[in-house]
Amino acid sequence: MLLNDIALAPVEFRPFINHLIARPCSGLVEFRLSSVNTTKHSRIIGGWIGKFGNIKLTATHSVLEDYAETRVLNQNRLELRRAIHSGNRMQIPTPASCGTPRTAILLATYNGATNLQEQLDSIASQSIKPDLVLISDDGSKDKTQDLVKAFMSTHPDMEISLLEGPCKGAARNFLHLVCEVPDWIDFAAFSDQDDVWLDDKTERSLRAIERASEPDTPILFCGRTWVCDKNLNDKKLSQLRQDPSFKHALVQNIAGGNTMTINRAAIDLLQVSCREARKLVIHDWWAYQIITGVGGTVLYDPEPLLLYRQHEDNVIGANNGLLARIRRMRYIWKGRFRYWNTLNIKALNASAHRLTSENREILRIFEDGRNGGLLKRIGMVHRTGIRRQGLEGKIALYVAAILRKL
């Protein structure tokens, strides 16, 4: 992109253009002006953009707050999307073509004002700063949105967008965020609203994924946490997980979504698959299932990545301790685990054409066998190789199969 005469641009947009020129990539630039009424600004920018044939302006009715640096222009901001232009194709820049990889943090919020500030501060303190922070709020009635807007004002160096969530639960809120990840992002990390990230969390996840050297393969990075009380005291390491696979993913999650980072191939996979799935138990378990189901790679860090705050409002919570074991057995006995499996199977069947042939067959046998007679249910566990972690997990799996609670 050639912008030799900045004076041609309207005064309000010159800081943004200077910021744009400093970016490491060149090529086609698309300005998306998000507003219900964009006529005025379309004319203003259009008069200037007409002088540069390789710049495209589009208007949307998105609720996404746009950005032009940190200046709010009549309640509008500019969302920048960039891509290398080659002929009639739009080629998304890769780390190799643009230097350092670009990362987005996907933060879902709902009435989280009590602990949100500490999480926002930990994001700002990362050793590798995010290139984009997308925050989707599900209609909070407390001061959550005020905290986010204040954070945006005090961090003008960070690109932050506050989105209106779908208000259909945590899983859909996170999937909404995944679908909003722009094409120029290389990695995306899920973030809960009440944790505290260790300063090197982002750096460790990016380094691990880059070492895998599989840019065309969906990769999910995750790991352990420090499980804490509501005041971040009484720290205990979360359970160590091993040997991630689709056979494991069918009946147990690998790690908390708050530790998960995915590469571009995984982002693309989730963006198309989430439109096929109707109802999910939780976004992170489904992401683990669909990524392993297509033959993707899961990287597990045995060292903790964050402080995982436990309190009465946790959607899922950690699985440490005696109370957690009792809770899991109650889930099995009351049929909740079976209900979760039913939802997961429906979601996976909706994307079955994306799974490897081996995993499609495992899914078919699992779905059929769990509804059969006693011998068929027990035989299905052996035949598919499905498994849960640890001795207690294995026992719980067989108990569920025997009781027809799987």
pLDDT tens digits along 282-305: 999 999 999 999 999 999 999 999
Structure tokens at 293: 């189901």
Q: Is the pLDDT of residue 359 over 60?
A: yes
Could you give the CA distance from residue 223 to residue 215 in angstroms, rounded to a whole number?
A: 20
pLDDT class of 127 with cuts at 50, 70, 90? very high
Q: What is the largest CA-CA distance in the chain?
A: 78
Q: What is the DSSP string of 357-380?
A: HHHHHHHHHHHHHTTS-HHHHHHH
Task: Say yes or no: 80 and 194 in one domain.
Answer: no
Average pLDDT over residues 323-349: 88
Task: Say yes or no: 255 and 389 in one domain.
Answer: no
Could you give the CA distance from residue 294 to residue 156 in angstroms, rounded to a whole number?
A: 39
Task: Assess if residue 225 is contained within a domain.
Answer: yes
CATH of the domain at 112: 3.90.550.10
The share of the chain scoring above pLDDT 70, in percent, equals 72
pLDDT class of 326 with cuts at 50, 70, 90? confident
Q: Is the pLDDT of residue 26 over 60?
A: no
* Among 131-140, 247-256, 324-333, 350-359, the least confident range: 324-333
* Among 44-58, 227-241, 268-282, the least confident range: 44-58
Task: Assess if residue 256 is contained within a domain.
Answer: yes
pLDDT class of 54 with cuts at 50, 70, 90? very low
Task: Say yes or no: 300 and 334 in one domain.
Answer: no
For the stretch 387-396, pLDDT in tens is: 999 998 999 9
Tell me which residue of 367, 341, 255 sits closest to 300, measured CA to CA. 255
pLDDT class of 1 with cuts at 50, 70, 90? very low
Task: Assess if residue 333 is contained within a domain.
Answer: yes
Burial 375-396 (b: 16+ CB within 10 A, else e): eebeebbeebebbbbeeebeeb
Task: Say yes or no: 247 and 348 in one domain.
Answer: no
pLDDT at 143: 97
Residue 267: CB atoms within 10 Å: 21
Tell me which residue of 109, 151, 136, 149 sits closest to 315, measured CA to CA. 109
Q: Is the pLDDT of residue 362 over 90?
A: yes
Structure tokens at 140: 């909070």
Q: Is the pLDDT of residue 199 over 90?
A: yes
Average pLDDT over residues 363-388: 97
For the chain, report the end-to-end CA distance as a whole number of angstroms: 57
According to DSSP, the β-strands at 219-228 and 297-309 are: parallel
Domain of 393 in residue numbering reads as 322-402
**Among the three residues 64, 91, 118, which one is the final residue of a domain in this structure?**
91
**How many angstroms from the chain centroid is the CA of residue 111?**
19
Task: Assess if residue 289 is contained within a domain.
Answer: yes
Task: Assess if residue 1 is contained within a domain.
Answer: no
Task: Assess if residue 274 is contained within a domain.
Answer: yes
Residues in a beta bridge with 309? 228
Task: Say yes or no: 311 and 327 in one domain.
Answer: no
pLDDT at 214: 85
Task: Say yes or no: 11 and 86 in one domain.
Answer: yes
Q: Residues with Cβ < 8 Å from 176, sequence gap 6 or more?
A: 136, 163, 165, 166
- Burial tier of 347 (Cβ tally within 10 Å: 0-12, 13-18, 19+): buried
Tally of helices (H runs) and strands (E runs) in the chain: 15, 13
Tell me which residue of 179, 184, 343, 186 sits closest to 275, measured CA to CA. 179
Task: Say yes or no: 32 and 113 in one domain.
Answer: no
Q: Is the pLDDT of residue 20 over 70?
A: no
pLDDT at 298: 98
Task: Say yes or no: 87 and 136 in one domain.
Answer: no
Q: How many CA atoms lie within 13 A of 71 on its CB side?
A: 11
Task: Say yes or no: 141 and 22 in one domain.
Answer: no
Q: How many CA atoms lie within 13 A of 258 on its CB side?
A: 27
Could you give the CA distance from residue 69 to residue 159 in angstroms, rounded to a whole number?
A: 8
Average pLDDT over residues 179-192: 97
According to DSSP, the β-strands at 187-191 and 160-164 are: unpaired
**Among the three residues 62, 91, 120, which one is the final residue of a domain in this structure?**
91
Task: Assess if residue 29 is contained within a domain.
Answer: yes
Average pLDDT over residues 370-378: 97
Average pLDDT over residues 89-113: 71
For the stretch 57-84, pLDDT in tens is: 333 333 223 322 222 222 232 333 333 2
Structure tokens at 102: 């670009």
**Among the three residues 300, 317, 334, which one is the final residue of a domain in this structure?**
317
Task: Assess if residue 347 is contained within a domain.
Answer: yes
Mean pLDDT of all residues in the chain? 80
Residue 28: CB atoms within 10 Å: 17
Task: Say yes or no: 122 and 261 in one domain.
Answer: yes
Task: Say yes or no: 329 and 210 in one domain.
Answer: no
Task: Say yes or no: 303 and 328 in one domain.
Answer: no
Domain count, the chain: 3
Structure tokens at 112: 């989280």
Average pLDDT over residues 376-385: 97
* Among 75-79, 224-228, 276-280, 329-333, the least confident range: 75-79
Could you give the CA distance from residue 31 to residue 41 in angstroms, rounded to a whole number?
A: 11
pLDDT class of 321 with cuts at 50, 70, 90? low
Q: How many CA atoms lie within 13 A of 240 on its CB side?
A: 4
pLDDT class of 46 with cuts at 50, 70, 90? very low
pLDDT at 363: 98
Q: Is the pLDDT of residue 41 over 60?
A: no
